[in-house]
Structures are given as C-alpha cells and as structure tokens.
Amino acid sequence: MIAAVLTMALMGLVLGVILGIAAKVFYVETPPIVDDLEAVLPGTNCGQCGFPGCRGAAEAVAAEAAPVTLCPPGGKDVIVQLAEIAGVDVPQGGGGDSKEEPDPLVAFIFEDHCTGCTKCYKRCPTDAIVGAAKQIHTVITDACTGCDACVEVCPTKAILLRPKPKTLRNWHWPKPGSVYEDAA
Amino acid sequence: MGLLDLPFLKRTAGAFRLRGGVHPETRKYLSKNAAIEKMPMPKLLRVPLQQHIGAEAVPMVERDDYVLKGQLIGKARGMVSANVHAPTSGKVISVGPFAAPHPSGLPVTTVTIRPDGEDKWGPRLSRMHPEDASPKEIANRVMEAGIVGMGGATFPSSVKLGLGAKYDLHTLIINAAECEPYLTCDERLLRERTEEVADGTAIMAKALGVKKVIIAIETNKPEAIADMRHHTLQMGPGGEVRPVPTLYPMGSEKHLVQTVLGLETPARALTAELGVVVHNAATAQAVHKAVRYSEPLLSRVVTVSGRGVNRPANVEVLIGTPVSDLIDHCGGLHGEPDRLLLGGPMMGLPIRSLRVPIVKGSNGVLALTHGETRRKQAMPCIRCGSCVSACPCGLLPMEMNARIQSDNLEEAVDAGLMDCVACGSCSFICPSNIPLVQSFNYAKGRLAAKESRKHQQEETKRLAAARTARQEAIAAAKKAAMAKRKAEQAAKKKKQAEAAAAKKKAAEEAAAASAAASAEPSAPSSSQPVEADT
C-alpha cells in the first residue's frame, strides 16, 4: 500500500511541476486593451452580441473577430468608445455616424399576457423588471437596456422591445434642414 | 479715450451699453391700449402638474374628487419644483396624460377640472403680515403659493428668493423690460396694478434683504414708467424706476443686469454671484397676492395678439384655460394663421393644437399671419458677420452653426454654444434666413441627451454590479445555510449514535448485572439504570 501511495504522490508532483513550467513557457498574454474594452461595455452580460458575456465580447473585439458595433444596448456612444480603444474607424451607416441614430429600445410587457411567472425578472441583468409570483410584471424604462434577455425567457411571449417612449424630459428640437434643402 | 470710459459719462446716457441686440418691429400697438379684462369661466380647465422647471408635482387629487378654489392639487416634489392649485371649484374629471403646451405636443400629467360655476374658495393659507415676517417666512409662503418666474422661464421663485442666505445681495431688479414684440401683459400690469406690483417688489426686497430696488422698463412704455414713478416710495427708500433702451433682448437676465448696473455676469455664473437678483414684474404681483391676501397663483395676464386674431387683448385667465377658449374670447381667428405661438415671437414656442392649456409661464398667445412670419427660403451663408454683431453674448453664430451642421457638437461647444441664451437675434438678422438659433437649440438638446445617456450607461453598470453582488451574496448565504444544516445533522447523528451506544452499554450492563444477581441474589441496587458516561 505504501508503494501505491508513494507512486501516486510522485506522479502528482512530477506532473504538477510539468504543468507549472508549461504554464510559464506557453503563457498566452491577454491583450491589455481587453480590460479597457470591457470597461466600456455595459457589463450586463446580456449575450445579445453572441459572445459569452461582456468579457467575451471584449476579447472578440480585441482579436478583431467582431465589429465594434456588436453591442446593441450600448448604442452609439459605446461604438465610438470601442472604436477609439481598438484603433479602428467608426463604421459609416451602420449606426456609426448616421445623422439620426435609431431610438434606443426598451422592453414592454403586455399585461394581458403576463402570468406572473417571474422568469423575466430573474433573468434581467439590470433589475429593470419588477414583479412577484402571480403578479403582473412591469418594466422600469429608465433602467432597461433593451438587451432582449427577458423576451427570450417569457413563456407567453408577452414581452417585446419597443422604442423608448419620448417624454418631455428627453425630447429635443430636430435638426433644422441644411441650407439648400429648405426649398419649399 | 480714458475719459470716455469713465462710468459716469456712460451713465449720463441713461444706461450702460449692451453688446449686440436687434430692433424688431414691436407691434405692441395692437394690444397696448386694451385694458386687462377678465375672462368668463371656461367649460373645462386642464391644469398640468409640470408648469415649471424641475420635477413634476405629485398629484394630490383623484378622479371624481370635488376641489375648491385654491386647493392644493399638485405638491412640489423636491427643492426645485412648484405647487399647483385648483384655479376654481369643481369636479376633477380626470388625472392623466394630456398634451402639454410644448412644441412636441407630448403628454404631461394633467388634472382636468369641470368648474361648477360657484368659484367657491377652499381654506386659505394662513394670514401673514409681511412687515413682521422673516425673509424665510416670505420665501416659504411664495413656495406654498406655487409661484414661478412668470416671464417665461418658470423657475420656482422661492428658490430665487432664498438666495439671500447663500450670497451677499445688494440689488433687486424687477424685469419689466418686456422686450419681446407684441407682448403687452407686463405693461398693462404696471399701468393698471401699479400698487400691487410695487408692494410685491417691496416684499421680495425684504425677503432678499436688499436695500436697492430698480424697476427696469423699456423706453417704449412711457405711461408705465410714469405710473410706476408715482409708487417708488412704496418700494422703500432705495426704490427707483430706470428706463432702459428699447432693444431686444433687454429682458434677458444677464443683459438687463449689465445694462442697469454695468456688471457683466461671467459665463455660466448666476447674477446672484454679483449680488443681484432679477424677478419679473408679473411675479412681483403674484407675490403681493400670495403674501397680502394668501392667494396662491391661480391666474395670470396673457396677451392675445397677432394679425391672425380678430380682437387683440390682454386677458386675465385662469391657469389651465384652453388656448382655444381664450382665442374665442378674443373674437376668434381671422382665417388660418401661419403660426400659433405661446410666448413672444422671438423665443415663444410654436404649438400644434389649440386644445393645450395656458400655464404659469405663458405670457402671450400669438396667431401670426404669413405677412408677419416672413418665412423665407434659407440661402447659403455669405459670411457677412451680421449675426456676430447682433449676438448679445459675443459669440460667433455662423461659426457655431457650421460646426453643428457637420455634426461636430464638441467643437461647437468650444466655440461657446453653452453661453448662447437662445434669444434668436442671429436668426432674426440673418440676410440668408439661416435657422441659426434653431440649430443651436437642436445641438443643446442633443448634448443633453448625450449626457443623460452617459449617465444611464453608468447607472446600468452600477445596477449590473449590484445584481452580481446580490446573487453572489445569495449563493454564499445558501452555501452557509447548507453547511450549517449539514453540521447540525452530523451533530444530531452523532448524538443519536452516542445515545444508542449508551443504551446498548446500559442494556449490556443490566444484562450482566441481572446475570450476576441471578448468581448472587443479595447484590444491592443493581437494577437501577446506569447513566451513560459522556
């Protein structure tokens, strides 16, 4: 029995040393910009980009495997900041430098269809849904990032994304027509 | 050169010079001689709960409630907010969203009251003697009465009256310049309710703790100047009426201070930092009513004018009166107006619907015909520099506009966008009809939206972090609970095992004892139970 124990212990030691050396020799450096990129991303790990969490998305952007426009909840600001860090141009047209950027989306719950199953409210990464078991849930639009996570889990398809409602607080004047357009 | 710069030489001209400014045709003759009339009670009153800058008031009534005149229906939320009162007695028929008197036409929470025609007063605010009241009590009363700046900015007046505690103030200026064309409501107020305005001014001076009071009136209102001069003594020994040049935008707070006192307010600073506070003349009258007669702000004087209105007039209307009722009272519209405005033609807000109500900050309703709006096609900038010489803030409007047109908002800010007061002098003077001030308004809105998005992003991060922390805490708590339970169960098991062992031992001993007893019957007390040693 002592022989068996000694063998296993020795094997463990040797393999451990090999692993330790291998980890040092074959160390893969994470690009330092990954941390910077991750700091810019919303950090909700909503998964809309198709990568495992915001960290995964940051790595993909750093490896240039994904465009900087990958984050729908982040909007134009995130695109511009990501492009700045990653050192690429802000893509034209695709939400980049277009004159009128699309309205941000927020979740909306059809109260007739809500069964109060609490699935969406457990899934929401920003706690933007309030509700309790067998009670109708509702969305706090100020906290919602429009990340789509709740839409997927709703068993009755009672949630959909809608443009954020305009209020007197976030309304502003439209851009007046440029010099030549105004010909009426 | 040196002599010309001496302030006293400039003072002989009546006032300090203002940079820039324009001279739009005032067209005040349309309503100048129409005495203030009271409007009959409208069928419905729609009182928005947000008529001021700051947070929306909290509704205090529900549908089907009966309200009395002067009853609080919206309570101020936080410091920068204002109370809203029922303008008459009647039944609340709805509390909910209704189109705001705003160019967007977006809804705002509105209390709709159907007047019962009795106009019955509810309990009034407590009686107050301004002569004995402390500044704080006066400011409090102004807050209770829901008074906001009635020149159009609608900033809660009580906040401005409380500035005396924070800054060393020396002068109160009553803004009766009324530099916007068409508007005559302040002028009529000064002429017809001179005493009330003077008294309100004196009360405000007491609240602010200032000795010097100046009523600034543009020179195109000689009657108002003369009437007001009869009442200067009522405003205390430091009272004075000061005619100021007729020049747009004389009624802008900072420019008025510069004209009257020669003090230039630094960029993005308050006039209070120079020791000066500016209040509107209509606000002074509202303060008089609130402090002397305990009446909250329930009505205001509105000028209805423009060539599109059949009978231009100055009307005292209840807050919440629909614009359509007011126009009907003034003889209705004369054909289809080109533009409907709330406020003056230079800075007023175009409205889409006539159903929107009059609010505390509406000083005019204008129906302008095609001949008055002179809407023309915009042409390329010829870099004539007219806008630069017209800008009262010393900015370069054409430069700012070029940057905004190419979406360089940050560069526009560098060029001084945030110092723009949106007076519209540049758009007025531009020979190419370029919508300059419109573009500045757009840029300011965009920047504010950007700022709020940035704020929201930070909030999102905070919320996500809070959620992660909470979930980790829950997991840790679960783990701890499980470990505890496990430990408890292990302890229980151990105890049971021990108890069983002890029982077994006892039984064995008993068996041994009984065996011994059967062998030796005289053995004492062997039948007693044996305690298990632990």
A94/chain B closest Cα distance in angstroms: 17
Closest CA to B384 of B434, B312, B338, B341: B434
Query: pLDDT tier at A40 (50, 70, 90 boundaries)?
Result: confident
Top-confidence range, A70-79, B3-12, B85-94: B85-94
Q: Please give the pLDDT value at position B172.
A: 95
Q: Provide the percentage of residues in chain B whose pLDDT is more than 70.
A: 94
A46/chain B closest Cα distance in angstroms: 10
Q: Is the peptide bond before A174 cis (omega within 30 degrees of 0)?
A: no
**Contact list, A78 vs chain B (CB under 8 Å):** 457
Q: Please give the pLDDT value at position B15.
A: 57
Cα(B379)–Cα(B254) distance, rounded to whole angstroms?
A: 32
Cα(B281)–Cα(B277) distance, rounded to whole angstroms?
A: 13
pLDDT digits (tens, 9 = 90+) for B141-165: 999 999 999 988 899 999 999 888 8
pLDDT digits (tens, 9 = 90+) for B255-301: 999 999 988 899 889 999 999 999 999 999 999 999 999 999 999 99
The predicted model gives B212-229 an average pLDDT of 94
At B470, list the tokens: 């909470």
Task: Tell which wins on pLDDT, B91 or B521.
Answer: B91
Closest CA to B364 of B425, B323, B318, B325: B323
Query: pLDDT tier at B460 (50, 70, 90 boundaries)?
Result: confident
Q: Please give the pLDDT value at position B392.
A: 93
Of A42, A77, A180, the CB nearest to B461: A42
pLDDT of B2 strictly over 70: no
The predicted model gives B409-419 an average pLDDT of 92
Please give the sequence-ordered ranges of beta strands (E in DSSP) within B269-353, or none if there are none: 276-280, 299-305, 313-318, 339-342, 349-350
Query: pLDDT tier at B12 (50, 70, 90 boundaries)?
Result: very low
* 8 A C-beta contact, residue B340 and residue B354: yes
pLDDT of B453 strictly over 90: no
**Contact list, B48 vs chain A (CB under 8 Å):** none
Of B102, B379, B456, the CB nearest to A168: B102
> CB distance B50–A168 less than 8 Å?
yes
Q: Provide the percentage of residues in chain B whose pLDDT is more than 90.
A: 72
The predicted model gives A143-172 an average pLDDT of 87
pLDDT of B374 strictly over 50: yes
A79/chain B closest Cα distance in angstroms: 13
pLDDT digits (tens, 9 = 90+) for B490-504: 999 999 999 999 988
Q: Please give the pLDDT value at position B376.
A: 81
**Contact list, B446 vs chain A (CB under 8 Å):** 172
pLDDT of A8 strictly over 90: yes
A45/chain B closest Cα distance in angstroms: 9
pLDDT of B520 strictly over 90: no
Question: Which residues is B92 bridged to in the sheet?
Answer: B113
Q: Please give the pLDDT value at position A47.
A: 79
Q: Please give the pLDDT value at position A37.
A: 87
Interfacial B residues in 431-490 facing A (CB < 8 Å): 432, 434-435, 438-439, 441-442, 444-446, 448-450, 452-454, 456-457, 459-461, 463-467
pLDDT of A137 strictly over 60: yes
The predicted model gives B338-353 an average pLDDT of 92
Residue A108: DSSP 8-state: E
Tell me the whole-structure pTM to 2 decimals: 0.80
pLDDT of B529 strictly over 70: no
Phi and psi at residue A123, in whole multiples of 5°?
-85, -25
pLDDT of B433 strictly over 80: yes
> CB distance A177–B435 less than 8 Å?
yes
* 8 A C-beta contact, residue B172 and residue B201: yes
Helix axes B194-208, B222-229, angle to 10 degrees: 60
> CB distance A172–B446 less than 8 Å?
yes
Nearby residues of B94 by Cβ (< 8 Å), 6 or more positions away: B63, B110, B111, B112
pLDDT of B229 strictly over 90: yes
